[in-house]
Amino acid sequence: MSAIEECPFCHADERKIKENDLAFVILSNPRKMKGHFLVVPKRHVEKPWELIDREVKAIFSLVFFVQKKVSEKLSVGCDVRQNYRPFLKQGRVKVDHVHYHIMPRDFEDELYTKIEYKEAEMFAELTPEERGEMEKVLS
């Protein structure tokens, strides 16, 4: 089967909650928390940088709409995330079709208390050498 035939987001018509001309909103299933939404381009695109400008505009129009609604009605804060992880095989919790996660967040919520509290240990001071090395990545 081709990537599009196997892709759950290319066959998600019954899951769509809201849409515009080039993108749509669904609930993540499985989800990390109640109110975990996904915004997905209608065209099967695997690399975010291959989206065309009109798709980017359509996606972020829905991302900001959902983020505002989630922040007003479900939680105090809201994370927006896109994961590009070609090193993982497509499966139940990993879909190759580009999508943006919108997740309600609150002070010391379940995601923080189970997982993210450890992230503070990872923060390190940026050195001038590292800054120079990383600037070269973008040249």
List of residues contacting Zn ion (CB under 5 A):
7, 9-10, 44, 97
Catalytic, out of 36, 44, 97, 99: 99
User: Which pair of tokens denotes residue 106?
Assistant: 């609150």
Whose Cβ is closer to Zn ion: residue 9's or residue 24's?
9
CB 28 within 8 A of CB 56: no
How far lies 92's CA from each of 7, 50, 96, in Å?
11, 24, 11
Residue 101 known to be catalytic: no
Whose Cβ is closer to Zn ion: residue 7's or residue 33's?
7
User: Which pair of tokens denotes residue 116?
Assistant: 């993210």
Give min distance, CB of 100 to Zn ion, in A.
14
- Tell me the residue type at 47: K
Whose Cβ is closer to Zn ion: residue 15's or residue 69's?
15
The residues that are catalytic are 99
